[in-house]
């Protein structure tokens, strides 16, 4: 059923006035690379929470940071940089709608570039001394930026999920977008991969985000992320659709 | 399909006239903490059943108390306190609708504060001598109340389900809401956690609910709750959606 | 999608003219108690088949009795008694609609009382020498009848499925309804429990249904019921919704 | 969603002009009895393909016979006989729609009788020297035909699926229908059961279909049917609904 | 819900002006034969990417080739030949819609012939020295072409999925279509089968596609295909429909 409730709302609590900003997007997919890397950027730069995204297409989740109640999908800004980060996986039935909403909203910002951070699943991750970083550009301009920064272009491959549609729409709607990914574990939070992504991000945005710091926090992050996700998952239990309503395991 | 039948009805059999009441809400999620604690409050204060909530979004369940047929989601009141308690888990497809209905209705009561009681799943619950209690406030006023009562603020974490959306909407609609939770088992009824919640609740509402009594009844409660849920679950069997209609196990 | 086809039709092949009849309803839920007991009443009193209920919300099933093709949900009548019995479990997505249709139709009969026969699942059924019978009344009148007949009132418990909603609506719409249940196996046809229900029913309706006969036929009934259900279940196989169409196991 | 696309189309490539024809219907349910028996009739009588049934409610399947592309649900005719046969199981969500379409269409033919061929699952099939045949008639006329042909009337039982609804509607819409079934394996193609059905069919339609031939081909048929179904099933793989899209096992 | 978004768009980036072209279609079904063979044709002939197909009925996937972002379903052209190839399996709920869109679009090209390349699952593939090739024609013209090229006509069998509906609609809408298949593994990419298909395709289109080359690349292709599909599958994980949202295994 199509309901108002199912719309996606992007709210700027403080209207964003930056001219041609850099927009970084991090979602918790493969290895949680995008989430970890973007979080690190936000924390290191002490970016300011300026907005959030909400929709009833998302699971009923809120998060707490420093005692503040927040949407799990937030917008941060500082100087010329804007970061959009999600702490919950995007449900497949919201991917197209959320992409449309993001594209429409970001377009109004007239971004210098949009950078999607993500992980590239590789089976042999465990054996990799160092992980490779690859970038995808949606137009000549972004491709030149990638080359100038000596990041390897992703030549062949498959991109799936929101970032796939985002890249596709970027081309169609003339948004200069770069997908920046590093080889990563599929099923484990991968701060190492995130570090490589941050390293590349530093070049693109002329930043100096401390990669060492991220690596030193790797173990802590791994635990924190696992925990974040475990809590979410655990808390999700017991809210089944009514047609298949079943009571929590305890009552079995 | 959107049908009248899918609306949520909140019925006050006796219209509630209390001025700026305290509203306590307890749902059967993690550890059934919210349900157990709210039930204890209702029974100890001998609160009066004044209303109920019904919807065809809920499973077809009624409960019997003292031979009275009741909705599993009820409203009790006494003096300045109102309690809303559910004996059935809220199906995920009813979470948003029920939250909206609750917020809308409670708003008309102009509550002094709304307190959501819940359990916070911790993996190591078994090893905890005593469980910690944490509170979340939706505005400065509620945060001050929490501090004044020396309850620890929840600093970081994930809140999921109806209470998450309720907190979120409370902020947006200016309802002074507190989520009060205690560390709990995820999958077992946890009267111990409920006791800690009640202890904190006593402070917030200047009550003197007997925590000892609750702890002494722990075993009995654990059994009663298991039983309540087991019966529900058992009775649920054999009512499958037609497309996947299957006969009860017996006929296998 | 709301389609005419999804309506529930209650058809009286012979219009029922009894004044303030007693209406007995038996559905095949816990232990098939309601089904077995109502069937026994119908057969013993040689009640007359006067109508049926059909809906495309029900699975595509018909039954044969004495070579006659019948709907699995039928209406029988004799003297002041009407019996409604279903040989198929009611799919959960039809529960609310069927209850509404039943209430609406039965109301026009201006019933003296409606009696829902059912089983109450108890884990220790195997060890019970004799099973207890409990009744629930929806108003003072029915409660008095229960007391007068020395049937124990069900004090606390959970009622689920169609009978739950039926009881609930009975209160709201002023229908004098009694739910009459006996402790029963959850997963096995329980003629013993049905016998206890019949014993109580005799009191309520001043009947003399032979309980011994029912008990003597217990084994035969158990087999017949299992068989009825097994055939249904077997025949159901191979009719999957197209989106998950799979061929019968044989072709695996 | 209701779409034209979801309608069921019954197409007569050669308009059928037979006066009061006998209509035989065979679907691949229990033991594939209906399918095997009807196929045997069609092949033995060299009936002519005169039409087909198509719908987007059916799985995307076509079949090849003698190099001809055909719908899996076809209509054959010869002399006074019309045969409707399906090589694919009817998805449950198409049962009611297809029955309506069939009834409506067949009615216009003003059939002398409609005969539904099917299998009756029996657990002990393996031990049966010879399988019993049972018939169900929808009116006195068909019941007399059954008796005159000395076929046993099915006295009690459960009929499920399209044939159940077809019988039901036949009564309501005055179509003289006979359901003719033989005891059968549930999960294995059962040419033996089909043979018994054909034997009875010979009486009803005064035909002389060679039962021996069918029995001699039993093994070949068993293989052919298995194969038919296995191919269908295998080919079905890899076409999952998008929301649960998964790649073929190979990629696991 | 019917939404514009759910339409299927076939986009010609360079309008195709060829007169009565040969249209080759390869989808990744059984053994990925259609995909491998069509890819080989495209690469060998250095066909030009001239268009693509997109729809929100497809999973959110894009592919990269030579650093170019592409839809997984593309249209290539060269001289008199057009090739349509998909790198993702077509979700079952898009089969009918995509077939309609393809037929409508291809019709405007007034094709000389449409050739669907596919694999025919055979259980004993492993033991086959060489695999047989079979063709299906939708009209006399295509059947003659098949005979003239000494390809065996498929006599009996079951065709499932998009190609089945495509063949069916070709007959109804007078499109000269040939389905060209070779015996293949069901669950493993089968370059050997693809080679046989290419061999036959050479005859139909008077091409000289190097079959040896394809066989020599067999192992490489097998790996590449596995990899392509594995990546897609892996990347798909974590995008569950919200109602059954669950976090990636890692958080279990």
Q: In what order do the strands lie in the sheet with A177-184?
A: A8-12, A48-55, A73-78, A81-86, A22-26, A113-121, A177-184, A133-137, A152-153
d(CA E204, CA E143): 12
Chain B residues with CB inside 8 Å of C99's CB? 60
Distance to chain D for C209, nearest Cα, Å: 24
Q: What is the pLDDT along chain A (252 residues), one digit of tens a residue?
A: 334 445 999 999 999 988 999 999 999 888 899 999 999 999 999 999 999 999 999 889 999 998 999 999 999 999 999 999 998 888 888 999 999 999 999 999 999 999 999 999 888 888 888 899 999 999 999 999 999 999 999 998 889 899 999 999 999 999 999 999 999 988 788 999 999 999 999 999 999 999 999 999 888 888 878 777 766 665 455 443 222 222 222 222
pLDDT band at B223 (very low <50, low <70, confident <90, very high): confident
Interatomic CA distance for residues E93 and E89, integer angstroms: 12
CA distance B230 to B242: 23
- D187–C63: do the CB atoms touch at under 8 Å? no
- Considering only CA atoms, which of C109, C123, C107 is closest in space to residue C30? C123
Instruction: Tell me the residues of chain C between 79 and 98 that have a Cβ less than 8 Å away from chain D.
Output: 87
Contact B63 C155 (CB under 8 A): no
Residues of D in contact with E232 (CB under 8 A): 247, 251
Cβ neighbours for B234, distance < 8 A, ≥ 6 positions apart: C30, C121, C186
The alpha carbon of residue E122 is apart from the nearest alpha carbon of chain D, in Å, by: 8
Residues of A in contact with B188 (CB under 8 A): 250
How far apart are alpha carbons D216 and D226 in whole angstroms?
17
Query: Which single residue is written with the structure tokens 């079959």?
Result: E211
| Exposure string over B222-236, b if 16+ CB within 10 A, otherwise e | bebbeebbbbbbbbb
**ipTM of model:** 0.86
Strand partners, A83: A24, A76
User: Given the structure tokens 């980036």, which residue do they identify?
Assistant: E13
Residue D158 touches partner E, C-beta closer than 8 Å: no
Of A96, A168, A233, the CB nearest to E62: A168
Residue numbers of B between 160 and 189 with CB closer than 8 Å to A: 160-162, 164-165, 167-168, 171, 186-189
Across the interface, do D250 and E157 touch by the CB < 8 Å criterion? no
Q: What is residue B233's predicted lDDT score, i.e. its pLDDT?
A: 61
Q: How many helices (H) and strands (E) does chain A have?
A: 7, 12
CB contact under 8 A, A62 and B229: no
Residue B158 has what pLDDT?
A: 87
Among A48-57, B19-28, C209-218, E171-180, name the one with the lowest average pLDDT: C209-218
Using alpha carbons, select from E161, E180, E43 the residue that is nearest to residue E96. Answer: E161
Calpha distance C191→C35 (Å, rounded): 10
Residue C251, pLDDT > 60, answer no
Q: Which of E159, E160, E155, E164 is nearest to E132 (CA)?
A: E155
| Per-position b or e across D205-228, b if 16+ CB within 10 A of its CB | bebebebeebbebbeebbebbeeb
d(CA C110, CA A40): 72
Question: Cβ distance A86 to A27 under 8 Å?
Answer: yes
pLDDT tens per residue across span D106-152: 999 999 999 999 999 888 888 888 899 999 999 999 999 999 999 99
Q: For residue E50, what are the CA distances in angstroms to A138, C126, E14, E100?
A: 18, 74, 5, 20
Residues 6+ apart with CB under 8 A from A41: A24, A47, A81, A83, A198, A201, A207, A209
How many other C-beta atoms are found inside a 10 Å radius of the C-beta of residue D2?
10
Mean of the per-residue pLDDT values of chain D: 87
Q: Give pLDDT tens digits for C18-77.
A: 899 999 999 988 889 999 999 999 999 999 999 999 999 988 999 999 999 999 999 999
Q: Are residues B177 and B116 in contact, defined by beta-carbon separation less than 8 angstroms?
A: yes
Quote the percentage of chain D above a pLDDT of 90: 64
pLDDT of residue D179 exceeding 90, the answer is yes
The whole-number pLDDT of residue A245 equals: 28
Residue of B nearest to A233 (CA): B160
> How wide is the angle at C-alpha A243 spanned by C-alphas A239 and A244, nearest 5°?
60
Q: Hey, is the C-beta of E249 within 8 angstroms of any chain D C-beta? A: no
Residues of A in contact with B89 (CB under 8 A): 238-240, 245, 247-248
pLDDT (average), residues D227-250: 44
The residue in chain B having the minimum alpha-carbon distance to the alpha carbon of residue A225 is B157
Query: Nearest CA to A136 among A150, A116, A160?
Result: A116
Helix orientation angle between C218-236 and C33-44, rounded to the nearest 10 degrees: 120
Q: A92 or B74: whose pLDDT is higher?
A: B74
Q: What are phi and psi of D188, to 5 degrees?
A: -125, 140
The whole-number average pLDDT for the span D163-187 is 95
C180, C197 contact by CB (below 8 A)? yes
Lowest mean pLDDT of B162-176, B177-191, C136-150, name the range.
Answer: B177-191
- Does pLDDT of D249 surpass 80? no
Give the CA radius of gyration of chain D. 18
End-to-end alpha carbon distance in chain B: 34
Q: Give the model confidence (pLDDT) of D27-81 as tens digits.
A: 988 889 999 999 999 999 999 999 999 999 988 999 998 899 999 999 999 999 9
User: Between B80 and E156, whose confidence is greater?
Assistant: B80
Q: How many residues does the structure list for chain E?
A: 252
**CA-CA distance, A226 to D152, in Å (whole number)?**
67
**Mean local confidence (pLDDT), B156-174:** 94
Identify the pLDDT of residue B6.
59
Q: Which phi and psi (to 5°) does residue C217 adopt?
A: -90, 0
How are beta strands E73-78 and E81-86 bridged, if at all? antiparallel
Q: Within an 8 Å CB–CB cutoff, is residue C4 touching chain D? A: no
Which is more confident, C24 or C88?
A: C24
Please answer whether residues D154 and D163 qualify as being in contact, where contact means their C-beta atoms are separated by less than 8 angstroms: no
Say if the Cβ atoms of D247 and E233 lie within 8 Å: yes
So what's the pLDDT on residue A143?
Answer: 97
Q: Which sign, positive or negative, has the C-alpha torsion E40, E42, E46, E49?
A: negative
pTM over 0.80: yes
**Between residues C151 and A186, the one the model is more confident about:** C151
What pLDDT, on the 0 to 100 scale, is given for residue B231?
63
pLDDT at A252: 22
H or E element: which one contains E169? helix E162-172
Judge whether A70 is closer than 8 Å to chain E, CB to CB: no
**Does the beta-carbon distance from D63 to E154 stay under 8 Å?**
no
Per-residue pLDDT of chain E (252 residues; tens, 9 = 90+): 334 445 999 999 999 988 999 999 999 888 899 999 999 999 999 999 999 999 999 889 999 999 999 999 999 999 999 999 999 888 888 999 999 999 999 999 999 999 999 999 888 888 888 899 999 999 999 999 999 999 999 998 889 899 999 999 999 999 999 999 999 988 788 999 999 999 999 999 999 999 999 999 888 888 878 777 766 665 555 443 322 222 222 222
- The beta-carbon neighbor of B67 closest among C155, C159, C226 is C155
CA distance C138 to C115: 11
Contact D235 E121 (CB under 8 A): yes
| A159 inside 8 A of chain E by CB | yes
The closest CB to that of A59, out of E1, E242, E251, belongs to: E242
**Closest alpha carbon to B181 in B164, B197, B160:** B197
Cβ pair B62:C161 closer than 8 A: no
DSSP state of A47: P
Yes or no: say if B76 and B41 are a contact pair by the CB < 8 Å rule: no
Q: Please give the Cα distance from B42 to E139 (Å, whole number).
A: 79
Question: What are the structural domains, with CATH classification, of chain D?
Answer: 20-243 (3.40.50.10900)
CB contact (8 A) between residue D232 and residue E160: yes
Categorize the per-residue pLDDT at B230 as very low, low, confident or very high, splitting at 50, 70 and 90.
Answer: low
Q: How far apart are the first and last CA of chain E?
A: 33
Q: Which residue has the higher pLDDT, A133 or D4?
A: A133
Cα-flanking dihedrals φ and ψ of residue B104, to 5°? -55, -45
Q: How many CB pairs under 8 A join A and B?
A: 127
What CA–CA distances, in Å, run from C49 to A70, C106, E63? 63, 16, 66
How many Cα atoms occupy the beta-carbon half-sphere of B21 within 13 Å?
Answer: 21
Query: What is the Cα–Cα distance from A165 to A61, expressed in whole angstroms?
Result: 24
What CA–CA distances, in Å, run from D231 to A129, B215, D34, E35?
47, 63, 20, 20
């Amino acid at each position: 059923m199509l309901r108002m409730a199912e719309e996606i709302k992007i709210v700027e609590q403080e209207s964003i006035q930056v001219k041609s900003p850099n927009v970084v997007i991090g979602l918790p997919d493969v290895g949680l690379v995008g989430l970890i890397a973007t979080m690190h950027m936000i924390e290191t730069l002490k970016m300011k929470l300026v907005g959030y995204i909400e929709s009833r297409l998302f699971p009923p989740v809120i998060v707490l940071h420093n005692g503040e109640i927040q949407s799990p999908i937030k917008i941060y800004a500082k100087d010329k940089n804007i970061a959009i980060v999600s702490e919950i996986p995007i449900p497949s039935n919201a991917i197209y709608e959320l992409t449309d909403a993001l594209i429409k909203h970001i377009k109004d910002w007239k971004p210098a570039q949009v950078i999607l951070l993500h992980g590239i699943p590789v089976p042999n991750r465990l054996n990799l001394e160092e992980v490779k970083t690859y970038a995808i550009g949606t137009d000549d301009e972004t491709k030149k930026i990638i080359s100038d920064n000596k990041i390897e272009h992703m030549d062949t491959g498959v991109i799936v999920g929101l970032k796939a549609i985002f890249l596709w729409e970027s081309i169609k709607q003339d948004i200069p977008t770069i997908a920046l990914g590093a080889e990563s574990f599929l099923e484990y939070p991968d701060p190492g991969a995130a570090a490589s992504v941050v390293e590349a991000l530093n070049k693109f945005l002329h930043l100096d985000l401390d990669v060492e710091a991220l690596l030193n926090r790797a173990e802590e992050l791994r635990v924190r992320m696992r925990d974040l996700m475990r809590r979410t998952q655990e808390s999700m239990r017991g809210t089944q659709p009514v047609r298949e309503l079943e009571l929590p395991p305890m009552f079995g």
